[in-house]
Amino acid sequence: MAEVTQPADSMDTSEDTAKKGLVEGPWSTTEHGKKAEMKLEKNPCDVESWSILIREAQSTSIARARTIYDRLVTHFPTCGRYWRLYIEQEMKSRNYEQVEKLFQKCLMNILHIDLWKCYIAYVRETKSPLPTFREKMRQTYDFALEHVGIDYHATAIWQEYIQFLKSE
């Protein structure tokens, strides 16, 4: 994946439900999670309640967790941290097609260093068996640094890239 394009469509969720950031019926199976969902009905921006649901989503299968993650990134579309959590869980399950779709929806719109580091890790993980791996990684670092390289927090990406180039 040399370049990520902007998303052509929005999230595939019910508009009313997505606006509220809620699932239809209780998603959580715990009392604590159900209380968090009830709080979100009153205040969909309650980050503490979202954090409770995120923790639950991280300890369940990605197939089940997608419901919460989709609502989360629909409600907070520019929060790189939430996109990264979603993508990392997809990566753990090796759902690379879904990972690519998520990067296409968010990467160019969110200049969040940890999200871009996640993108670099994704390319490293998926392209390492290819004979053109080193060239793909060079392109990936160039692409990332072209977008976030002037950010003070991009130092770690610059240092990784320098180490990568020295290892040739």
pLDDT in tens, 109-140: 999 999 999 999 999 999 999 999 999 999 99
pLDDT tier at 156 (50, 70, 90 boundaries)?
Answer: very high
pTM value?
0.82
Of 98, 76, 79, residue with least CA distance to 89: 98
The DSSP symbol for 7 reads P
Q: Which residue has the tokens 């180490």?
A: 163
- Per-residue tokens: 134: 């080193």
What whole-number distance in Å separates Cα of residue 5 and Cα of residue 107?
8
Residues 71-103 pLDDT 10s: 999 999 999 999 999 999 999 999 999 999 999
* Rounded CA separation 113/157 (Å): 8
Q: What's the pLDDT band for 28 if we cut at 50, 70, 90? A: confident
Structure tokens at 63: 């197939």
Q: Is the pLDDT of residue 16 over 50?
A: no
Residue range 36-46: average pLDDT? Answer: 93
The two three-digit tokens of residue 84, written as one number: 């990264």
Q: Which tops the pLDDT comparison, 100 or 7?
A: 100
pLDDT at 1 over 70: no
Residue 67: exposed, middle, or buried by beta-carbon count in 10 A (0-12, 13-18, 19+)? middle
Q: What is the dihedral angle through the alpha carbons of 110, 114, 119, 124, rounded to the nearest 10 degrees?
A: 170
Spell out the alpha helix ranges (H) of the chain: 15-20, 31-42, 47-58, 62-75, 80-92, 96-106, 113-127, 133-148, 155-166
